[in-house]
Amino acid sequence: MKLQPITPFLGIEVHDADLRKPVADDDFATLREALNQHSVLLFRDQTLSEAEHVAFSRRFGPLLTHVLAQFLKPGFPEIYVLSNVVDGGKPIGNHKEGWNWHSDLSYKAEPCLGSLLYAIETPPEGADTLFASMYAAFDALDDDTRDFIRPLRGVHSYSSYYGKAFADRTPLSSEQKAAVPDITHPLVRTHPETGRLSLYVGEDVVSGIEGMEGPEGQVLLARLNAHAVDSRFVYRHVWQPGDLLIWDNRSTMHRATPYDDVKYRRVMHRTTVAGDRPF
């Protein structure tokens, strides 16, 4: 394998890797370290079956299943399908998912370590994914802001996010809501493997700041979100079929971008690696 930086602040493209084959332990250790330091790994020109996608994902840790079970791949519940395709009158995957800045499953008590998204069908234009380095965003804050936010905790709410993002859909069931109660996490997160500090915020899914329920909290949250996604810290990934992208949710935020979903099809498969409680 050959490793090539994508940007100075985020991302490594991995060349000469065929993920259908088992990755040697030494090579996997190199990949894990690259992910810890650079937050995003890109593998192009892959031809993975569902089983191969799941098997490689499991090298990073136990896999999680999504609360929206209707969009899980039949036979492979570890794979969450993102798509606008309708088959037999039913959508095969979730559409318009993640069009806000977020870190996957941050609304869980133990959010995920990372996600592995594999491109099956991609539009020829649009549907890019933006990634922001939360390492770089935290490092760029002034000292006073860093000191002020270190003890603060954000309120992460999937119910709040779902109500805003999918207002035109059937509301979450009581069982689904019970599975994702609101949770608080620190605004400044310590990476458990590198010890580096990063911002841990998000649009919509972070509904407020604990102990700052008034306008002051919303103003601070909006300021931190705007800073976190400044163009200085953002990489835009233009998808091609066969791309596998791995990102570290402990040190990044990301968001999808729109495309002509009437003219074009999009089919993406995502696996999600279990993580631990932020500190």
Which of these is catalytic: 254, 255, 266, 269?
Answer: 254
**What does the angle CA 100 – CA 229 – CA 129 come to, to the nearest 5 degrees?**
50
Lateral strand order in the sheet of 129-133: 234-237, 129-133, 252-256
Separation of alpha carbons 114 and 175, rounded Å = 25
Which of 38, 53, 66, 102 is flagged as catalytic? Answer: 102
State the burial class of residue 236 (Cβ atoms within 10 Å of its Cβ: 0-12, 13-18, 19+). Answer: exposed
Distant-in-sequence, close-in-space partners of 2: CB < 8 Å, separation ≥ 6:
14, 15, 16
Known active-site residue 254 = yes
Residue located via tokens 């899980």: 72
Cβ–Cβ < 8 Å for 83, 91: yes
Give the C-alpha separation, 78 to 192, whole Å: 24
Cα–Cα distances (Å) from 230 to 46, 189, 198, 217, in that order, read 31, 19, 15, 20
Answer yes or no: are the C-beta atoms of 14 and 2 closer than 8 Å.
yes
Catalytic residue flag (residue 15): no
Amino acid identity, position 4: Q
Phi/psi of residue 62, nearest 5 degrees? -60, 150
Which member of 66, 156, 255, 270 is catalytic?
270
Residue with tokens 């309708």, as numbered in its chain: 86
Q: Which of 104, 204, 243, 248 is catalytic?
A: 104
Is 32 a catalytic site residue? no
Say whether 104 is catalytic: yes
Query: Coil, helix or strand for 211?
Result: coil
| Antiparallel, parallel or unpaired: β 114-121 and 244-248 | antiparallel
- The residues that are catalytic are 102, 104, 254, 270
